[in-house]
Amino acid sequence: MAGKTPSAGSLNQIYINGEYVASHSKRTFSVRNPKDNALVADAVPIADQEDVDRAVAAAEAAFVGPWSKFTALQRTEAFNRLNAILEERLIDILTLDSLTTGNPVSLIPTREKNYIKNCLLYYAGWTDKQKGDYLPADDGFVKLVRHEPLGVCAAVNPYNAPVATFILKAAPCLATGNVLIVKPSEKSPLGSLALAPLFEEAGFPKGVIQVLTGDGSTGALLAQHMRIRKISFTGSIPTGKKIQVAAAQSNLKRVTLELGGKSPALIFEDANLDNAVTWTVNGILARSGQVCVASSRVYVHESIAKEFTEKYIEKMRAAVDNIGDPQDPNVAFGPLADDAAFEKVKAMIARGETEAQLVLGGKRKGDKGCFIEPTVFLNPKPTAQVLKEEVFGPVAVVLTFKTEEEAIELANDTEYGLMAGVFTKDINRALRVSARIESGVVGVNCISVMNMQVPFGGKKASGLGREFGEYALRAFTEPKSVLINMNS
């Protein structure tokens, strides 16, 4: 398959030690296109305990094999070759996932491709910059601190951006000398399977990257495996809790959890309204609301609430015309990922109509597929589900506030704490409010955006640990102190 991206139907094996191989398990699943429920691929394996053990054994051999002898320069060169290969192949790979996630192919040439490219190039530059520490022998001991790789790591990835998340986890993992077993979501396994062999093509040794498809049972096997030293999970809070429990009850493996969000946007009276409307609308419609940083709670100062809300609803209404076939490059917004996601969002909207004022959308678009119109609620009850829980769809709630203190209290009145936005022209207010919001990332005059150079992750129930930037490298290493007795 070198040089050519495999077809969706041919991706019916797992990827272990540099080869597509048959799964020991006889259990399989199928994936469908959410635009029309057409079958995309069937007989995708659900990896079992023997498959996981095989992958772990191959990973352990790779970790202590030629990969352990790679210099920083060799790792950088492998990253750069992979980036060059993806320049030619990435669009085909991402299109495979568009078939099962509903992600519009219009995102691929810019947002998707640039994000992945930036990640690879960023971590390619870190391979020779992982310095330790030296402390002088004032007490008779020279103290050295090394940052050493953990060994076999696992990544359990979400369905909304499977290849981007694959690269986001693999790049810092490999830059620090670890090896990685990837389990993509059962809703979007194809792109990850197609991507795997490109690592060997780029010069990474066999076994450094492996892909096991499966459902939650496969993820559980990885989380509880006694020889996996780290697991990085992106997904829901309930599943994240199960993974943390399994990690603790097995071998206390290191855990990074990037979980849900209910991101508040605070629009103050001096904000640039057009800018605030653009960011908050884009922040809830990106991938049809199926992103953890979606700007789903919009708090507006009462003095500008009428003007803002009118502009916001107008822009949300206009977006309906850009919903359609995700395989059409002229379409901006696709369907929800599958029937289960569609039914969940529909049920939350129906309940929302009893707990808030529905002013836009709430209906299915068209007569087939998992398309939901952009939806806006006003004036929810304090306990309304659409206000308190993550919807993971194009559903937003708009509320008003009177004072800065009230806005901060409303923003923090949640167990989520992943992303927030503060919209104001007052830099003092921006710094003051951003310091008090309980969120891992705060945008000023922006929201629902991430940057590769700085850490990304959540507070409270939104997660544990950080990704992106130098912080991700530390999540894949363990410090070792070396004490040298100078008086021996």
Which CATH superfamily groups domain 8-259+462-481?
Aldehyde Dehydrogenase; Chain A, domain 1 (3.40.605.10)
258 assigned to active site: yes
Q: Which of 112, 186, 200, 258 is catalytic?
A: 258
Residues 237 and 147: their CA atoms lie apart, in Å, by: 30
CA 115 vs CA 166, 207, 288, 452: distances in Å: 12, 25, 19, 8
Quickly tell me which residue has 């492996």 as its tokens.
210
Question: Quick one: residue 96, left, alpha or beta (phi over 0 = left, psi -120 to 50 = alpha)?
Answer: alpha
| Residue-level pLDDT at 348 | 98
Q: Who contacts 346 (Cβ-Cβ below 8 Å, separation ≥6)?
A: 364, 372
Domain locations along the chain: 8-259+462-481, 264-452
Provide the residue count of the chain.
488
Residues 318 and 69: their CA atoms lie apart, in Å, by: 56
Terminal-to-terminal C-alpha distance of the chain: 59
| Residue-level pLDDT at 208 | 98
| Residue-level pLDDT at 386 | 98
Q: Who contacts 201 (Cβ-Cβ below 8 Å, separation ≥6)?
A: 2, 81, 82, 85
Say if CB 286 and CB 448 are below 8 A apart: yes
SS3 string, 52-117, reads HHHHHHHHHHHHHCHHHHCCHHHHHHHHHHHHHHHHHHHHHHHHHHHHHHCCCHHHHHHHHHHHHH
314 residue type, one letter: E
Say if CB 211 and CB 238 are below 8 A apart: no
Residues 372 and 171: their CA atoms lie apart, in Å, by: 35
Quickly tell me which residue has 């199926």 as its tokens.
290
User: What is the bridge-based pairing of β-strands 395-401 and 375-378?
Assistant: parallel
Q: Who contacts 406 (Cβ-Cβ below 8 Å, separation ≥6)?
A: none
Which CATH superfamily groups domain 264-452?
Aldehyde Dehydrogenase; Chain A, domain 2 (3.40.309.10)
Write out the chain's pLDDT in tens, 488 residues.
457 889 999 999 999 999 999 999 999 999 999 999 999 999 999 999 999 999 999 999 999 999 999 999 999 999 999 999 999 999 999 999 999 999 999 999 888 899 999 999 999 999 999 999 999 999 999 999 999 999 999 999 999 999 999 999 999 999 999 999 999 999 999 999 999 999 999 999 999 999 999 999 999 999 999 999 999 999 999 999 999 999 999 999 999 999 999 999 999 999 999 999 999 999 999 999 999 999 999 999 999 999 999 999 999 999 999 999 999 999 999 999 999 999 999 999 999 999 999 999 999 999 999 999 999 999 999 999 999 999 999 999 999 999 999 999 999 999 999 999 999 999 999 999 999 999 999 999 999 999 999 999 999 999 999 999 999 999 999 999 999 999 98
Beta bridge partners of 44: 29
Residues 19 and 21: their CA atoms lie apart, in Å, by: 6
DSSP category for residue 299: E
Quickly tell me which residue has 């800018």 as its tokens.
275
- DSSP per residue, 312-326: HHHHHHHGGGGB--T
Q: Who contacts 61 (Cβ-Cβ below 8 Å, separation ≥6)?
A: 17, 207
Q: Who contacts 434 (Cβ-Cβ below 8 Å, separation ≥6)?
A: 420, 422, 442, 444
CA 261 vs CA 235, 389, 463: distances in Å: 10, 9, 9
205 residue type, one letter: P
Q: Which is nearest to 112 in space by CA: 136, 96, 130, 128? A: 96
